[in-house]
Amino acid sequence: MKENVASTVVFILLLFLNINLLNGQSPPGKPEIIKCRSPEKETFTCWWKPGADGGLPTSYTLTYHKEGETLTHECPDYKTGGPNSCYFNKKHTSIWTIYIITINATNQMGSCSSDPRYVDVTYIVEPDPPVNLTLELKQPEDKKPYLWMRWFPPTLVDVRSGWLTLQYEIRLKPEKSAEWEIHFAGQQTQFKILSLYPGQKYLVQVRCKPDHGFWSEWSPESSIQIPNDFTMKDSTVWIFVAVLSAVFCLIMVWAVALKGYSMVSCILPPVPGPKIKGFDTHLLEKGKSEELLSALGCQEFPPTSDCEDLLVEFLEVDDSEDQQLMPAHSKEHPGQGMKPTHLDPDSDSGRGSCDSPSLLSEKCEEPRANPSTFQTPEGIEKPENPPKNVTHTWDPQSTSLEGKIPYFHVDGSKSSTWPLPQPPNQHNFRSSYHNIADICQLATGAAGASATLLDKTDKHAFKSSKTIETGAEGKAAEQREVESFPSKTDQDRAWLPPQEKTPFLSVKALDYVEIHKVNKDGALSLLPKQKENSDQTEKASTPETSKEYAKVSQVTDNNILVLTQDPRAPNLALFEEQAKEAPPSLPHNQAQKDLASFTAPPGNCRLQLGGLDYLDPAGFMHSFQ
């Protein structure tokens, strides 16, 4: 029985529920707050969207509580904001405070609450649009006409006290156009428009935004009709001027482009860079004077080269043709007019090719003198091939001496400009030059301190010890003996003391050798003198600038001519005369004197004046014997 009652009750309840469900009634759905807005940061309104009402009349309530409070309040005004809204007036509005707002939907069946919404009035400010937008066309005299518009802030917003600060934006368009032209107006409540199409009807709108809030809606449209004569009077003139100037500028640009290069080069000619052959600026920057000077062709300063460069060859003068005096290369100190001699490697017979007297002083003049600036006697050919040969052969010797004897070190190539004259119609005397360097080497080798010796006595020693047996005119002191005096083998000979001067040149052949020139290396290039007279005259006409070892200082016992440089005009005659005397045995002392006289102050490029140095043959004379 009881079971029956219970089940019946349940059945009735279920029936009741089913009936209700069949009717479609249910508790309300969940409402939702759409948005909350404040038009002036003093009041605000919230709107919600109801959920399903469940088929029954549903009532909605809004409840809230403020940050920091526990009391829950209900919406003070459901009407002012319209349906499903709640308006909070000034009394109920607090700024910088969070409101937690909830909507409750209730119907007969039940109720449902929305999710709480956190609202801070500070950040939901959206004002009304500006009001009283007025448009006016203004056409002042002598000025451009324009459209002038002004408006007022929305009525509710308190701008005067500074509670809200508004910024405005206007937009306008011709009535039939599709796109708006928007302008930002800042905080001002007026605006001017200048560019307008005449004869059109324009629509204008304005909106505003608070300093930290949302833009308002656009105000209602205001319209204005632009009259047809609304033109910019002087605009055509300006357009004309602009076009003209643009054309002018284009022409100028085109002209400059065409002729710009020539103009620029006319105005600013390219500056030629300074160039000195053989001068390496990098070396100069590094501060290594040695390398610099060596690059320029000068030997080290102070002289430290060995004596290999001091080639002194005995001149061997004979009648054989096509003999050439080997240019005597010697590396001489810049201040010393060393007459370089070069040993002709081919001269087994001691013959060397002779060049005309060279000008040692040339080399002495400038450290950077280009060997190509040799001043050769003009009457003499200036063959260019042989020098190379000479240099090739000479180079090994010279290079070995570089470090010991001060001289104008010229590059190998430069020294190759030491031409060996090969006048076809001339005899080429071959004289073997004794390498001054060898002599030096002798001395240095013996001394064991060649470098230091050189350094100390460089000037004098160099000068005094070098007696160049260049091709002596007339009977050049060719010494067959010289050829037996190999430059290299006698390196261990003792270094000649400066004062010792012994003529070493023994002229065997009776032919004159003319000093062609002295190249940078101090090598004498000698020219064979075919005929005394002819050669003499020929050589006599050599330029004054050429330095010729045309003066025989002495003739040694061994018929070695000790030549000196004649500062005066080429004194081939003198040379010749003296040579003719050969083999006179000049007194030793005379040679000494002469040599001493040649001992020009070191570094003093007075070789032109006769400061040429000769290798003192005395040194190797001993060995020679």
- Kindly list the residues in this chain that would bind another protein in the complex (CB under 8 A): 41-42, 67-68, 90, 93-98, 100, 116, 118, 120, 122, 158-163, 165, 211-212
User: Token digits for 382?
Assistant: 């200036």
Query: Residue 133 Cβ, how far from another protein at the closest point, in Å?
Result: 21
> Is the Cβ of residue 67 or residue 321 nearer to another protein in the bound state?
67
Query: Residue 44 Cβ, how far from another protein at the closest point, in Å?
Result: 12
What is the spatial distance between Cα 263 and Cα 405, in angstroms, rounded to a whole number?
A: 55
Given a contact cutoff of 8 angstroms between Cβ atoms, the answer to whether 551 and 564 are in contact is yes
Nearby residues of 613 by Cβ (< 8 Å), 6 or more positions away: 332, 336, 337, 338, 339, 360, 462, 463, 464, 465, 466, 468, 598, 599, 600, 607
Query: Residue 46 Cβ, how far from another protein at the closest point, in Å?
Result: 17
Given a contact cutoff of 8 angstroms between Cβ atoms, the answer to whether 445 and 492 are in contact is yes
User: Token digits for 286?
Assistant: 């590094």
Given a contact cutoff of 8 angstroms between Cβ atoms, the answer to whether 324 and 356 are in contact is no
What is the spatial distance between Cα 429 and Cα 507, in angstroms, rounded to a whole number?
A: 12
> Is the Cβ of residue 97 or residue 499 nearer to another protein in the bound state?
97
Given a contact cutoff of 8 angstroms between Cβ atoms, the answer to whether 518 and 363 are in contact is yes
Query: Residue 45 Cβ, how far from another protein at the closest point, in Å?
Result: 16
Query: Residue 120 Cβ, how far from another protein at the closest point, in Å?
Result: 8
> Is the Cβ of residue 36 or residue 446 nearer to another protein in the bound state?
36
> Is the Cβ of residue 41 or residue 434 nearer to another protein in the bound state?
41
SS (HEC) of 287-308 = CCHHHHHHHHCCCCCCCCECCC
Map residue 366 onto helix, strand or coil: coil
> Is the Cβ of residue 45 or residue 553 nearer to another protein in the bound state?
45
Residue 23's CB is within 10 A of a number of other CB atoms, namely 10
> Is the Cβ of residue 161 or residue 228 nearer to another protein in the bound state?
161
What is the spatial distance between Cα 474 and Cα 514, in angstroms, rounded to a whole number?
A: 9
Q: Cα Rg for the chain, rounded, in angstroms?
A: 58
Query: Residue 97 Cβ, how far from another protein at the closest point, in Å?
Result: 6
| Number of Cα atoms under 13 Å in the Cβ half of residue 46 | 28
Torsion, Cα of 580, 585, 590, 596 (10° steps): 80
> Is the Cβ of residue 20 or residue 93 nearer to another protein in the bound state?
93
Query: Residue 87 Cβ, how far from another protein at the closest point, in Å?
Result: 16
Query: Residue 101 Cβ, how far from another protein at the closest point, in Å?
Result: 13
What is the spatial distance between Cα 420 and Cα 323, in angstroms, rounded to a whole number?
A: 10
In total, the chain counts a number of residues equal to 625
Map residue 427 onto helix, strand or coil: coil
> Is the Cβ of residue 45 or residue 592 nearer to another protein in the bound state?
45
> Is the Cβ of residue 119 or residue 468 nearer to another protein in the bound state?
119
SS (HEC) of 123-142 = HCECCCCCEEEEEEEECCCC
Query: Residue 213 Cβ, how far from another protein at the closest point, in Å?
Result: 11
> Is the Cβ of residue 160 or residue 275 nearer to another protein in the bound state?
160
Query: Residue 110 Cβ, how far from another protein at the closest point, in Å?
Result: 25
Torsion, Cα of 598, 599, 601, 607 (10° steps): 30
